[in-house]
Amino acid sequence: MQESESPNPVLVEVFRKNTVESRHRGAVAVVDGEGRIVLAIGDVSRIIFPRSSIKLFQALPLIETGAADRFSLAPRDIALACASHNGENGHVSRVRDWLAALGLEPDQLENGPSLPYSATVAREMLKAGEEPTRAHHNCSGKHTGMLTVARHLGLEVAGYTGHRHGVQRAWMNAMSELVGFDVESLDWERDGCGAPAISMPLESLAHACARYAAPDRLGGVRARAVRRILDSVSAHPWMVAGTGRCCTDVIRMTAGRVVIKTGAEAVYTGVLPGQGLGLALKIDDGSTRASAVALGELLRRLGAISDDEYRALHGHFRPDILNSNGDRTGCIAPSGSWGKWISRRP
């Protein structure tokens, strides 16, 4: 069945010189620490797959079960467990060392072998005649974290990505508590890395992010786990993505004042601890060239980043379009409608 016209507005426009050549529609939800929706652009009740944007939530069992302490994980390891990394040497070598400490091999990761996410690193690897491994997959840090939980709980390692496996039950139960409903009540399927991928309304995803932005309201073990995850990601932003990546550059530039995580098909989640806000956005057509631009405009208008920070992140938030000769032919920019939806905060 063909879907009717999207109720979502144009968030991002692609210009060739001064003419709009393409448009990207999407939706945005911002929720405060009390669970109130403070901004809704488009249909925020529509069901989406958050994909890798929920990795900071999937890391909760690593902390809450005591697995991180038992295996003496450093903050950089916790950040790596939340990563969609480039597959750079520092990412891959740490995954291998971590697995070795668990008495495991990279072949026991149940994400498939993959070339590095970074095209530059992938080219260098192919030029050197190296074969891609499971450790090169951008989700290998998350999977290593899951194996750590399995080891700690005495669960079977083989088949840890199974939907009914205790490792998957642990993070899905935690996610259900954060969003306020059973995440298994909605559609799910295998993600690109083989682990279960759940779905939920965009507003529910923002609600979970808001819970992270106000951890004191969670109390006890959960609050401490959330702070540890946020502190780890803020201290080691390179581990979360890598060289030239939006997530790394934003977290690093803001020193953790803004913690963001991308997901496949143009999803972003964000935690703004100082403002007590959580955000989620999704571009309808899955274009990642548009999702970062929409994110930048949202952060700027929320007052989460300064004008100087926005300009410094120009390559992500308002990128130029270059032709094969390196000539600037246009740019990707926020649509002119943002001012109707949200006034600029000081």
Quick one: pLDDT at residue 342? 85
Distance CA 111, CA 311 (A): 37
Helix 202-213 vs helix 166-179: crossing angle, to nearest 10: 90
Across the range 14-40, mean pLDDT stands at 97
Residue 101: pLDDT over 60: yes
Tens digit of each residue's pLDDT (9 = 90 or more) over 166-180? 999 999 999 999 999
pTM of the model as a whole: 0.95
Q: How confident is the model at residue 229 (pLDDT cuts 50, 70, 90)?
A: very high
Burial 310-327 (b: 16+ CB within 10 A, else e): beebeebbbbeeeeeeee
pLDDT at 2: 45
- Is there a contact between 335 and 23 (Cβ–Cβ < 8 Å)? yes
Q: Is the pLDDT of residue 210 over 70?
A: yes
Q: List, for residues 248-298, the tens digit of each pLDDT value.
A: 999 999 999 999 999 999 999 999 999 999 999 999 999 999 999 999 999
Residue with structure tokens 């390692």? 157
Q: Domain 10-341 - what CATH class?
A: alpha beta
Give the count of beta carbons closer than 10 Å to the beta carbon of residue 339.
11
**Residue 3, pLDDT score:** 52
Domain segments of the chain as ranges = 10-341
Closest CA to 157 of 80, 113, 99: 99
Q: CB neighbours of 303 closer than 8 A, spacing ≥ 6?
A: 275, 344, 345, 346
Interstrand relation of 188-190 and 47-48 (parallel, antiparallel or unpaired): unpaired
Confidence class of residue 5 from pLDDT cuts 50, 70 and 90? confident
Confidence (pLDDT) at 345: 63
In order of 42, 289, 299, 330, the CA distances from 322 in angstroms are: 31, 14, 26, 7
> Which residue blocks in 191-287 are alpha helix, DSSP H?
202-213, 220-235, 237-240, 246-253
∠ CA(20), CA(53), CA(59), 5° rounding? 165
| Residue 246: closest CA among 268, 231, 227 | 268
346: confidence class by pLDDT, cuts 50, 70, 90: low
Residues 116-146 have pLDDT tens digits of 999 999 999 999 999 999 999 999 999 999 9
Backbone φ and ψ of 272, nearest 5°: -115, 85
> pLDDT per residue over 75-89, tens digit each?
999 999 999 999 999
Measure the CA–CA gap between 253 and 309, rounded to whole angstroms: 7
pLDDT for 19 beyond 70: yes
CB proximity list for 263: less than 8 A, separation 6 or greater = 49, 50, 51, 52, 53, 54, 84, 269
Residue 250 half-sphere exposure toward CB, CA atoms < 13 A: 30
Distances (CA, A) of 310 to 16, 119, 230, 319: 22, 25, 22, 12
Q: Mean pLDDT over all residues of the chain?
A: 96
Mean pLDDT of 327-336: 97
